[in-house]
Amino acid sequence: MKLYGIPNCGTVKKARTWLDEHDINYEFYDFKKHGVTEDLLSGWLKQIGWQQLLKKTGPTWGQLSDKVKATIKDNETALTLMLEKPNVIKRPVLENNGKVIATGFNIIDYDNLKL
């Protein structure tokens, strides 16, 4: 199992705490330290789509011009933005055996995971 995110993100911290409290082994992948690749993001986008992977509530999205925001309309345009500004990726992304099983953190969703 892999958890992708940024270590100082509050949502990532909640997910890590939940996983630790439930004795679930995982590898943490730090976007800041390791970056994100086109292959990784493309795989996620194929599985869950850009609407679920794009974080529109954070300051990075808020700082984008309306013109740039209007261009994000599909997996391809979202991919370009995510590669340029990884902070717009919804965090954390929880992956099991290469399959995205959760984005963000919601305790009810995590409690219902089939692990």
What's the pLDDT tens digit per position in 50-89? Answer: 999 999 998 999 999 999 999 999 999 999 999 999 999 9
Q: pTM of the predicted model, to two decimals?
A: 0.91
**CB 5, CB 93: distance < 8 Å:** yes
Q: Which structural domain range is residue 77 located in?
A: 2-111
Q: Is 9 labeled as catalytic in the residue annotation?
A: yes
Catalytic residue among 9, 48, 82, 93: 9
Tokens of 100: 């995205």
Mean of pLDDT over the chain: 95
Residue 42's CATH number: 3.40.30.10
Number of domains in the chain: 1
* DSSP-derived secondary structure letter, 22: T
pLDDT for the residue numbered 39: 96
Spatial CA neighbour of 97 closest among 80, 83, 114: 114
Model confidence at 98, pLDDT cuts 50, 70, 90, reads: very high
Look at 32 and 2; give whichever has higher pLDDT.
2
